[in-house]
């Protein structure tokens, strides 16, 4: 094995040794060996003998694991340590990855062998459910990868697949660069009136960091505000200066929509290529093709869900809007309320209604304490113990932490994870996500230990203060940890359906959204909160207020997500990029779900990374689909009583062994039934959002 390749072995990456220069030689060397292994498999199949399950899938798993040992760290660093040099590596490597992936998925020899296996006695009499599931998923993946195409159609399908991968990468880079390029430096104290001290500290630190100076102080400025989440949201929530908020709002609304970063053309190209890809495979639309591998299965099922939730939320949402306008007018707003006014007046209305503000909570949510509380929660409901192990793995940034998870019943080390908690707008893409670093599989009778990447973009520590988290940042952390638990607590031995592998996309948010529900449990809130200076527990009245305020403007939030999901489906089913207008689709959905008339200058689609460079194309509805599952799953805990410790542990272990343990080894509807004893119902979701009739 070449020296470069030796840096990329299966397992936890050697981040302290990996260099930009090592990446391309390592990937190209690994691709050579993987191609050779795959050829060996095809040659064995070509002899005409029907291969067993292990003879087919063991080599495929080994190839996937070996290739991901190189591509995985490159892909990960592309998201968390982006740089011009790394982009060049990514642009060079991605087409090669796509090409090899197509070779594997379009192999007629392998397809024939898997199809033969599916019709054999081994499939019906010997294989377990996880193995049969892998066979079924492989056949579906082959179909969706163009196995039935020949000649010019196959060539065009592969060309489209390559183009889509390249364009999606460009889309993502444009969003990152455009977001990073905009900033607002303020020097007048009146411009930052009403902004809390911690926001001024953050903006001052950002100014000094960006300008490489020590000129700024929190008290005197200058202050730098950006479109990065923590900065943007803080300014919109607290600033009374409407002109500055309008400027910031419009900048956010038009990210990646101008000049060399304009994604408008890329969107149309993506939609055209996706539609063409679907038609090559015989589907009416890309949405129809996407749903072929999802739990919802049919477009009408998605439409029914979205309309049911929209109709249940719309009247409530419009009333919430009128109540906000009346409140603002009653507090001296002598102007028409616009979108950029809503965060400010919503915050004040919430504070007056529930007699607390979000910034009062932050001192009680220092990240170390929040982590302690999170780990305590999963310890008592899932029988695991999380321990810090910072010195046991190399990291890519000084703020990254490493942890190990142990099974309390056996004391065995069963999983690990990296946590990258803070915003780095200079080189880290926005949002939050979980990604697999090592996926559980069994080789020579020994299971590998799964490892996850948990990535957030939370508030940075300032000076000697730890990160003081907003409640929403705590929610985000719990959300991503839920994804991580499904990856890390899997009990499946087969790579293809271990953890979140093989889980239908619209069910994958179940485990993440489930965890969010615990933040409204009194015991959990007590355990994860404590003043960062005095260590005093959060006052009981604050806990009551958090729970009381849970559904403040919940219908508005519901309608916002539904609008995004409806736009996504409309663009991927029945939309003709050559004839129809993107803005009209956006406007039509806004009229159905928003209190504000469509804003003609809005270009938010240009930064809608979820559907144009992420995995949510024709799948954004998945958040709501899975939220039905997650709310109903949490209902099982509520039904036994959240204070009933023995019953909670009993239900928690059942949840661990089904939803978390089975992963993709069975269809998510069966997994849910195994846990809940019945199919999912929407009642819990509407009740949790205060929208039940």
Give the number of other CB atoms < 10 A from CB of residue 416. 22
581 falls within a domain: no
Classify residue 584: in a domain, yes or no: no
- Report the C-alpha gap between 652 and 420 in whole angstroms: 27
Say whether both 249 and 104 belong to one domain.
no
Query: Which pLDDT score, from 0 to 100, does residue 692 have?
Result: 66
- Whether residue 544 sits in one domain with residue 415: yes
Helical spans, DSSP H, in 489-573: 510-516, 522-528, 540-548, 554-572
pLDDT value at position 70?
97
Predicted confidence at residue 1, as pLDDT, reads: 59
Q: Strand ranges (DSSP E) for 439-544? A: 442-443, 446-447, 451-458
Q: Is the link from the previous residue into 222 a cis peptide, with omega within 30 of 0?
A: yes
- Looking at the fold, whether 191 and 125 belong to one and the same domain comes out as no
- The catalytic position among 480, 504, 516, 527 is 480
Same domain, 114 and 232: no
Check if 639 is active-site: no
* Cβ proximity of 615 and 293 under 8 Å: no
Q: What is the pTM of this model?
A: 0.89
In this structure, the answer to whether residues 249 and 376 fall within a common structural domain is no
**Residue 355 · residue 545 · CB < 8 Å:** yes
Residues 225, 77 within the same domain? no
Mean pLDDT by 10 residues, the chain (693 residues): 79 95 96 97 96 97 97 96 95 95 96 97 96 97 95 97 95 94 95 93 92 92 94 95 97 94 96 97 97 94 94 94 97 96 97 90 96 98 98 96 97 98 90 95 93 96 92 96 98 96 94 96 95 94 92 94 96 90 90 88 93 93 93 96 95 98 95 95 85 65
Asked if the structure places residue 588 within a domain, the reply is no
Q: What is the largest CA-CA distance in the chain?
A: 83
Q: Are 112 and 46 in contact (CB under 8 A)?
A: no
- Clarify whether residues 533 and 446 are in a common domain: yes
User: Domain for residue 164, yes or no?
Assistant: no
Map residue 451 onto helix, strand or coil.
Answer: strand
Same domain, 133 and 194: no
Whether 319 maps to a domain, the answer reads no
Burial of 86 (0-12, 13-18, 19+ CB in 10 A): middle
- Among the three residues 255, 277, 306, which one is the final residue of a domain in this structure? 255
User: Do 188 and 41 share a structural domain?
Assistant: no
Q: Are residues 141 and 250 in the same domain?
A: no
- 186/127 same-domain check: no
Other beta carbons less than 10 A from residue 81's beta carbon = 16
The predicted structure's pLDDT at residue 2: 67
Q: Is residue 339 part of a domain?
A: no
Angle at 205 between CA 201 and CA 80, to 5 degrees: 120
Q: Is 46 exposed, middle or buried (0-12, 13-18, 19+ CB in 10 A)?
A: exposed
Question: What is d(CA 420, CA 75) in angstroms, rounded to the nearest whole number?
Answer: 15
Kindly state whether residues 140 and 200 are assigned to the same domain. Answer: no
The total number of structural domains in the chain stands at 3
Q: Domain containing 214: what range?
A: 182-255
């Amino acid at each position: 094995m070449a020296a470069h390749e030796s840096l990329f072995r299966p397992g936890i990456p050697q981040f302290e040794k990996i260099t930009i220069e090592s990446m391309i030689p390592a990937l190209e060397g690994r691709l050579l060996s993987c191609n050779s292994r795959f050829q060996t498999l095809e040659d064995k199949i070509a002899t005409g003998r029907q291969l067993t399950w292990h003879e087919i899938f063991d080599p495929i798993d080994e190839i996937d694991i070996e290739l991901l040992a190189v591509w995985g760290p490159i892909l990960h660093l592309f998201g968390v340590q982006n740089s011009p040099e790394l982009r060049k590596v990514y642009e060079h490597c991605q087409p090669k990855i796509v090409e090899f992936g197509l070779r594997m998925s379009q192999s007629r020899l392998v397809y024939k062998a898997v199809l033969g296996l599916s019709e054999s006695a081994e499939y019906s009499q010997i294989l377990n459910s996880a193995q049969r599931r892998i066979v079924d998923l492989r056949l579906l993946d082959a179909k969706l990868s163009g196995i039935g195409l020949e000649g010019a159609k196959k060539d065009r399908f592969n060309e489209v697949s390559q183009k889509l991968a390249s364009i999606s990468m460009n889309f993502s880079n444009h969003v990152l660069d455009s977001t990073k390029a905009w900033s607002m430096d303020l020097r007048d104290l009146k411009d930052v009136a009403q902004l809390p001290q911690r926001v001024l500290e953050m903006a001052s630190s950002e100014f000094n960091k960006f300008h490489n100076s020590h000129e700024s102080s929190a008290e005197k400025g200058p202050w730098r505000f950006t479109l990065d989440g923590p900065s943007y949201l803080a300014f919109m929530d607290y600033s009374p200066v409407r002109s500055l908020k309008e400027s910031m709002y419009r900048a956010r609304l038009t990210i990646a929509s101008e000049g060399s970063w304009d994604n408008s053309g890329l969107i149309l190209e993506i939609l055209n290529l996706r539609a063409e890809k679907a038609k090559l495979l015989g589907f009416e639309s890309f949405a129809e093709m996407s749903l072929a591998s999802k739990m919802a299965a049919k477009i009408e099922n998605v439409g029914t869900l979205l309309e049911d939730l929209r109709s249940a939320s719309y009247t409530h949402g419009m009333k919430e809007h009128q109540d906000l306008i009346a409140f603002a007018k009653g507090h001296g707003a002598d102007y028409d309320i616009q979108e950029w006014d809503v965060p400010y007046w919503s915050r004040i209305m919430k504070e007056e209604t529930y007699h607390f503000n979000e910034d009062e909570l932050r001192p009680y949510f220092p990240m170390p304490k929040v982590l302690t509380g999170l780990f305590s929660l999963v310890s008592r409901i899932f029988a695991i113990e999380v321990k810090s192990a910072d010195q046991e793995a190399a990291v890519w940034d000084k703020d990254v932490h490493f942890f190990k998870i142990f099974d309390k019943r056996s004391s065995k080390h069963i999983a690990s994870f990296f946590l990258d908690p803070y915003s780095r707008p200079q080189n880290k893409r926005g949002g939050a996500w979980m990604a697999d670093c090592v996926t559980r599989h069994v080789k020579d009778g020994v299971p590998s230990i799964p490892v996850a990447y948990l990535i957030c973009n939370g508030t940075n520590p300032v000076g000697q203060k730890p990160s003081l988290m907003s409640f929403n940042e705590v929610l985000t952390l719990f959300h991503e940890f839920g994804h991580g638990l499904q990856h890390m607590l899997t009990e499946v031995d087969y790579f293809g359906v271990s953890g979140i592998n093989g889980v239908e996309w619209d069910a994958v948010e179940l485990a993440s959204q489930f965890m969010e529900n615990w933040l409204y449990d009194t015991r959990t809130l007590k355990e994860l909160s404590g003043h960062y200076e005095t260590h005093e527990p959060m006052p009981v009245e604050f806990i009551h207020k958090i729970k009381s305020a849970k559904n403040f403007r919940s219908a508005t939030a519901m309608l916002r997500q539904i609008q995004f999901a409806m736009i996504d489906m409309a663009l991927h089913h029945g939309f003709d990029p050559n004839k129809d207008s993107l803005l009209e689709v956006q406007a039509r959905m806004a009229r159905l779900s928003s209190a504000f008339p469509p804003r003609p200058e809005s270009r938010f689609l240009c930064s809608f990374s979820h559907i144009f460079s992420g995995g949510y194309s024709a799948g954004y509805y998945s958040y709501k689909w899975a939220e039905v599952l997650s709310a109903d799953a949490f209902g099982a805990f509520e039904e036994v009583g959240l204070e009933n410790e023995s019953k909670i542990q009993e239900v928690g272990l059942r949840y661990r062994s089904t939803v978390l343990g089975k992963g993709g080894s069975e269809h998510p509807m069966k997994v849910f039934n195994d846990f809940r004893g019945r199919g999912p119902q929407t009642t819990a979701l509407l009740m949790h959002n205060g929208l039940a009739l």
